[in-house]
Amino acid sequence: MLPGSAFDGEGFLRDMQAWTPAVAEQVAAAEGLTLTPAHWEVITLLRQYYRQFDSSPAMRPLVKWVRIHLGEDYGRSMYLLSLFPGSPAKLASKIAGLPKPDNCL
C-alpha cells in the first residue's frame, strides 16, 4: 500500500512507475469499486494505449480502443460506465496509474 503522499489532490498516482496491481486495488477501493476481470481488461487496454500514444485517452478514444480490442459489445459508453461510474476515462486512468486525460474536469 502506498502512502497518501504518493497521490495528487485528485487521487492520481504521482509516479507512474510506482503502479502495481495492488496499487490499482487500493485506488479502486478508495473509489468504492472492487475490480473484476472485466475491469482488468479495460485497465490493461488503457495501459497499452498509454504505452502506444503517451497519453491517457479521453472517453471517445477509449470507447474506440476498447471496441477495437474487445469487440462491439464492449466498445460502448454504457459498458464502460457500468464498470467505471461517472467519468470512465478519468476513473479508469486513475486506477490504471496513468495521468488524468487532458480534457477531463
Residues annotated as catalytic (active site), given as ranges? 104
The residue behind cell 491517457 is 56
Three cell numbers, residue 67: 471496441
Angle between helices 88-95 and 37-53 (to 10 degrees): 90
What is the distance between the alpha carbons of residues 25 and 35, in angstroms, rounded to a whole number?
Answer: 7
The residue behind cell 471517445 is 60
